[in-house]
Amino acid sequence: MLAKKTSKNQITLPKEAVQKFPGIDYFEVSVEGDKIELRPVKVGPAGTALEKIRKKIAELGLTERDVKDAVQWARKKG
């Protein structure tokens, strides 16, 4: 597959490549040596990640005290 950079530094991804990532509109870009890597990123509404974390904490039965103790423990390690 071949992609051409435009005068505005834009690249159109080949259809064959993007079809493998349905529903993905954003890609994280990184440079590794002489390679450009694209990783698909799913973007959700603001606060969604925090809601998932709070739900997981509740499922695990963790308390606010448990979280405070964990933070304190992690800060001692540094």
- Residue-wise pLDDT for 35-71, tens only, equals 999 999 988 777 778 888 889 999 999 999 998 999 9
pTM confidence score = 0.53
Task: Mark whether 33 and 52 lie in a shared domain.
Answer: no
- Looking at the structure, do residues 37 and 18 belong to the same domain, yes or no? yes
Q: b vs e for 32-66, b when ≥16 Cβ sit within 10 Å of the residue's Cβ?
A: eeeeeebeeeeeeeeeeeeeeeeeeeeeeeeeeee
Q: Does any domain span residue 27?
A: yes
- Quote the domain boundaries for residue 37: 10-43
* 37 and 60 assigned to the same domain: no
Residue 78, pLDDT > 60, answer no
